[in-house]
């Protein structure tokens, strides 16, 4: 079975307990960080990658049309239920792999992902896809937990990573800032949100096309 199929199965399995599992951290911090991210979103047509159970719906800015995608049909089914309770939200949900987006080039003004690139099997490929479907000059906003690049704790995260990913579906030792650069996106700012540089809000842009 491929790593993408494994990821899909893990989240299908986690879907019934996902919201309960995250309730504490959501209350303590995630909710606040989501609000902060969405207050920075620009443009009318937005892509949300890894929409999960739809925890960002309440933060979608009014006047935007958000297309949400996710690999897991079970996470999406919970998102669909949540969306039904919010009929005013202008969004549609599609099952799709972030590593192979079925969208044309340059169709979105912005793309957002919250706690997603820790679990996408080939994160640079997924970020490349974002750079392709967001228009030149458009935004890519990511809220991600990342590897702490410090002695002892960094190698400890590397050692635990293969175990955690099997249980929780997420890699805890991802170098997401580096991956964003490797995908050719331009980083505008990185905001440290948690002690020890564990959680970052990464604000990147698709490079504007240069005329030769």
Ligand X SMILES: C[S@@+](CC[C@H](N)C(=O)[O-])C[C@H]1O[C@@H](n2cnc3c(N)ncnc32)[C@H](O)[C@@H]1O
Q: Quick check: 99 binds ligand X (CB under 6 A)? A: yes
Write each residue from 36 to 65 as x if it is in contact with ligand X (CB under 6 A), else as -, in one continuous string.
Answer: --------------x-x--x----------
- What does each C-alpha distance from 146 to 56, 139, 156, 197, 204 come to in angstroms? 20, 20, 13, 8, 16
**Taking the CA of residue 122 as centre, how many other CA atoms within 13 Å lie in the half-sphere pointing to its CB?**
14
Specify the residue, 127 or 206, whose C-beta has the smaller distance to ligand X.
127
Q: How many separate helices (H) and strands (E) can be counted in the chain?
A: 6, 7
CB neighbours of residue 87 within 10 Å: 7
Q: Give residue for tokens 């192979």.
A: 100
Q: Indicate which single residue of 41, 120, 127, 201 sits in contact with ligand X (rule: CB under 6 A).
A: 120
Q: Indicate which single residue of 46, 97, 179, 206 sits in contact with ligand X (rule: CB under 6 A).
A: 97
- In the complex, the smallest distance separating the C-beta of residue 174 from ligand X, rounded to whole angstroms, is 12
Specify the residue, 32 or 207, whose C-beta has the smaller distance to ligand X.
32
CA gap 146, 21 in Å, rounded? 20
Q: Which residues bind ligand X (CB under 6 A)?
A: 4, 7, 11, 50, 52, 55, 69-72, 75, 97-99, 114-116, 119-120, 126, 170
């Amino acid at each position: 079975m491929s790593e993408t199929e494994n990821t899909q199965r893990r989240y299908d399995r986690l879907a019934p307990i996902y919201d309960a599992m995250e309730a504490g951290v959501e209350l303590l911090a995630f909710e606040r960080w989501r609000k902060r991210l969405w207050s920075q979103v620009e443009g009318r047509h937005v892509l949300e990658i890894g929409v999960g159970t739809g925890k960002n719906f309440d933060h979608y800015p009014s006047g935007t049309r958000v297309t949400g995608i996710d690999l897991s049909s079970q996470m999406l089914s919970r998102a669909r239920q949540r969306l039904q309770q919010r009929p005013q939200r202008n969004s549609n949900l599609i099952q799709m792999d972030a590593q192979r987006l079925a969208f044309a080039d340059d169709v979105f003004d912005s793309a957002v992902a919250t706690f997603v690139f820790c679990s996408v099997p080939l994160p640079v490929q997924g970020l490349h896809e974002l750079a392709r479907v967001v228009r030149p000059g458009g935004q890519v906003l990511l809220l991600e937990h990342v590897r702490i690049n410090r002695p002892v704790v960094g190698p400890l995260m590397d050692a635990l990573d293969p175990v955690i990913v099997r249980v929780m579906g997420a890699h805890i030792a991802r170098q997401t800032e580096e991956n964003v650069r490797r995908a050719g996106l331009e980083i505008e700012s990185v905001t440290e949100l948690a002690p020890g540089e564990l959680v970052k809000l990464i604000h990147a842009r698709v490079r504007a096309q240069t005329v030769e």
